[in-house]
Amino acid sequence: MAVLDAIDTLAPIREKVEAGERLDFEDGLTLIECDDLLALGELADLARRVRGGGDEVYFVQNLYLNQTNVCRVKCKFCAFARTRKQEGAYTLSADELVEEAVAQYERSRFTEIHCVNGENPHVDLEFYAEVLRKLRSALPDVHLKFYTASEIHHMSKLEGCTHEEVLRVLKDAGLGSLPGGGAEIFSERVRRLIAPGKEHPDEWFHVHDTAHRLGIPTHCTMLYGHVETYEERIDHLLRLREQQDASGGFLAFIPLAFHPENTVFERRGFTFTTGADDLKMIAVSRLMLDNIPHIKAYWIMMGLPMAQIALHFGADDVQGTVVREEIFQAAGATSGTEQKIPELVRTIREAGRIPVQRDTLYNELRRW
């Protein structure tokens, strides 16, 4: 009976999906409140195929680097950031970071470097531009996906200039795209609770809007599973969808489950999200974000087995080799810090899908 009830509840949404109609806020709440996980997964996979998706599942060969973990913001969900005087704080020079990247490149020939940092108040814009210039010189064929919108806003405050001026400097230095971090949850209520020193959500959107208009593609995220409500999750997705309607530069959406280990929330009794919640967010994201082409099942957050299941819940990307990820590891992720290409290929094949190695911009490099 419960299954029948769930099917009846989802029937009007299925009709919209099959007709190519856009889902609204109430549809989103219906989806996220639905307890029939398999029905949600099937509907999300249907939506993916109706919108042109095939059997391809993408991944990129990438390296994660962090130039500094020194940060002015005291986000309560973060286990990565340090003040300059805290044990474990670091700030690498451009030469140090380039040396590390080149050494890793000799081992794995990655096509992308993904770099995010703390909002270090002790450096300037040239600190960030210099590393881009030197990396572009040393590794000209590698795409540089650097700096979240929060970091871009921080740089603009440091320099007393606009987001556009910062992005133009970085683009000229070699910036290829922006990662999606810093979004957290756009609800002002939530941000006051978990990241009271962080910029207003409108600043995050302004950075991405400006980047898109300068021809810089970006990614987008949501950090869920802490103090937000279902309504705030759906509002977050709809605001991303609205921005994509306006500027069209988001390549992919990555739902990120909150990891409480080594944060203030662990001391307050918070635990990791369940696999069911992670799969639900993948499915709901795919259903609501009809204009963002790709949904990532971030294996380093959910583990490869769960990412494999997520490929039947609307996801079509498992991110990449992710060499040397530090931020989720600091917060208690246990899925490791690297996957070899053969393991990603095996995982995708065993899910009944076609593995496709891509570059950052989703150009196909190889398929199996």
For 231-270, the pLDDT digits (tens) are 999 999 999 999 999 999 999 999 998 765 555 554 555 5
Quote the percentage of the chain above a pLDDT of 90.
70
- Residue 192: predicted pLDDT: 85
Q: How confident is the model at residue 323 (pLDDT cuts 50, 70, 90)?
A: low
Q: Which amino acid is at 32?
A: I
For 38, 124, 156, the CA distances from 20, given in Å and listed in that order, are 21, 47, 41
Per the model's pLDDT, the better-predicted residue between 111 and 226 turns out to be: 111
Per the model's pLDDT, the better-predicted residue between 177 and 333 turns out to be: 177
- Residue 259: predicted pLDDT: 63
> Any bridge partners for residue 327, and if so which?
none
Per the model's pLDDT, the better-predicted residue between 339 and 174 turns out to be: 174
Calculate the CA dihedral of residues 73, 78, 81, 86 and round it to 10 degrees.
Answer: 100
- Residue 263: predicted pLDDT: 53
Per the model's pLDDT, the better-predicted residue between 75 and 142 turns out to be: 142
Predicted structure pTM score? 0.90
- Mean pLDDT across the stretch 300-328? 81
- Residue 299: predicted pLDDT: 85
**Cα 344 from Cα 355, distance rounded (Å):** 8
For the chain, the residue count is 368
pLDDT for 38-63, tens place per residue? Answer: 999 999 999 999 999 999 999 999 99
In sequence order, the 6+-apart residues with CB closer than 8 A to the CB of 237 are: 28, 222, 284, 285, 288, 289
Pull the structure tokens for residue 278.
């992670």
- Residue 197: predicted pLDDT: 77
Domains in the chain: boundaries? 56-367
Q: Domain 56-367 is in which class?
A: alpha beta
Cβ atoms of 64 and 324 within 8 Å: the answer is yes
Outline where 226-298 has alpha helix (H). 230-247, 264-267, 275-288
pLDDT for 103-134, tens place per residue? Answer: 999 988 999 999 999 888 899 999 999 999 99
